[in-house]
Amino acid sequence: MANLVRGMRDVLPEEARQWRAVEERIVEVLDGFAYEELRLPLLEMTELFARSVGAATDIVEKEMYSLTDRDGSSISLRPEGTASCARAMLESGLLRNQAQRVFYRGPMFRHERPQMGRFRQFHQIGAEAFGPPGPDVDAELIQIGAEIWRALDLTGDIQLELNTLGAPAARAAWRDALAAYLRPHRAALDADSARRLDRNPLRILDSKSSDTQALLADAPRFDDYIDDESAAHFEALKGLLDELGIAYVVNPRMVRGLDYYGRTVFEWITERLGAQGTVCAGGRYDGLVEIIGGKPTAAAGFALGLERVLLLRQAVQEADPEPPVDVYCCVLEPQWQGAVLATVQRLRDGLPGLRFRVHVGGGRLKSQLKRADQCGARWALLFGEDELRDNRMALKDLRSGAPQEALTAEAVIERLLGGTA
């Protein structure tokens, strides 16, 4: 028997219905802020991520799925969406003297150790704003996140953490000071931190090792290196969030794992998911477009992990799975199958919000009604020779026990539009 690839997972129908419901609510919020959707390819040139995400990051060094194309070039399954989004906007010419607000959704790929809430194929929805340089767009992106949690009834189970990484020169000075402080303690660092010390020392701040965190207690703080312009930007952002009534905590050790971030960084986190507590993260990346070959362009964005959002909803809400079928259509005689299919299509056209399933394969009425009950249908429609000859069908409420009625298609539409039989 063929087996599922390690780190991948199937999303079966019942769970897929939950996915779709969550995605639809998130997209409704993004539509409300006038962000436009774009669709991105799964494969990109490996160089795009090496230049943008950072050659010294874990993503590029250890986690990308890369292969050699037939022309000898190196291509990779996208490990994240922001670099692909920036590449698409630049290559299409949509950044020429224009501000753009867009969102994307789809699978990403990283070769990580699989665990709850972390798979090698995972799914994100991301929002990106190109052009506006001020803290107002940072605040808008955070506001979108707050509205998403409100739409999903998660506001009380998730909190916002903020930090600023300043301008590149200030961040470089802080990085050098941090590395100089930690080098005499290399032997006391955990293995990942020791490896990062010479190439990406800021990532050491993310270490989960208690011994490493103890060493960092007296490490240089960015407050001593931040440039005045970035400090003013950060204070303005906090003021806007205060006006919006969005609570936050400043986390001076938040650095994010991607090299393109600068100034504002933020994470929406929860305590409900253990180690995988970051549900959504983002910030500013004003240098990214220039890194990949464009002109300097201010930009900011975020991405949320759909798997983690769904896990969080399951952790805080009672499961109430939505049935896959609203109306089950029973065919009493096989020779009437074509007529039933045509009639049910008229009903679908008149009731686009309901899901109709037409019975196939024949069988007695009793067994068909049993199928209707098993799939959770509220109503059954019974089609026999007499009903079809009179251009009618029998409508049966499977939940209330009310007697069935012979109705025209128009009358069925009217009844079901009212939600009662």
Please write the tens of the pLDDT for every residue from 132-159.
999 999 999 999 999 999 999 999 999 9
We report the CATH number of the domain holding residue 343 as: 3.40.50.800
Residues 367-384: tens digit of each pLDDT: 999 999 998 899 999 998
We report the CATH number of the domain holding residue 245 as: 3.30.930.10
Q: What is the distance between the alpha carbons of residues 385 and 128, in angstroms, rounded to a whole number?
A: 58
Residues 279-322: tens digit of each pLDDT: 999 999 999 999 999 999 999 999 999 999 999 998 887 655 67
Q: Is 97 exposed, middle or buried (0-12, 13-18, 19+ CB in 10 A)?
A: exposed
Indicate if the pLDDT at residue 272 is higher than 60. yes
Indicate if the pLDDT at residue 53 is higher than 70. yes
**In the predicted model, what is the mean pLDDT of the chain?**
91
Residues 59 and 17 in one domain: yes
Residues 44 and 158 in one domain: yes
Lowest mean pLDDT among 49-63, 213-227, 330-344: 49-63
Q: Is residue 188 assigned to a domain? A: no
Q: Among 226, 191, 195, 219, which residue's Cα sits nearest to residue 205?
A: 219
Residues 23 and 148 in one domain: yes
Residues 361 and 403 in one domain: yes
Residues 305 and 391 in one domain: no
Q: What is the distance between the alpha carbons of residues 420 and 417, in angstroms, rounded to a whole number?
A: 8
Say which residue, 41 or 97, is predicted with more confidence.
41
In the 8-state DSSP scheme, what is residue 398? T
Assign 42 a pLDDT band (cuts: 50, 70, 90): very high
H/E segment holding residue 297? none
Indicate if the pLDDT at residue 119 is higher than 50. yes
Q: Among 390, 396, 383, 391, which residue's Cα sits nearest to residue 340?
A: 383
Residues 145 and 232 in one domain: yes
Structure confidence at residue 320 (pLDDT)? 57
**384 lies in which domain range?**
327-417
From 316, 344, 368, give the residue that closes a domain.
316
From 263, 291, 316, give the residue that closes a domain.
316
Helix ranges (H only) for 271-408 are 288-291, 306-316, 337-350, 365-374, 385-389
Indicate if the pLDDT at residue 99 is higher than 90. yes
Residues 287 and 337 in one domain: no
E-strand ranges in 19-176 read: 36-37, 43-45, 66-68, 74-77, 100-109, 121-130, 159-164
Q: Is residue 182 assigned to a domain? A: no
Q: Is residue 284 assigned to a domain? A: yes
Q: Which whole number is the average pLDDT over 70-88?
A: 96
Residue 276's alpha-carbon distances to 140, 153, 170, 332, 355, in angstroms, are: 25, 20, 30, 52, 36
Q: Which whole number is the average pLDDT over 229-244?
A: 97
Buried b (16+ CB within 10 A) or exposed e, 30-59: beeeebeebebeeebebebbbbbbbeebbb
Residues 263 and 334 in one domain: no
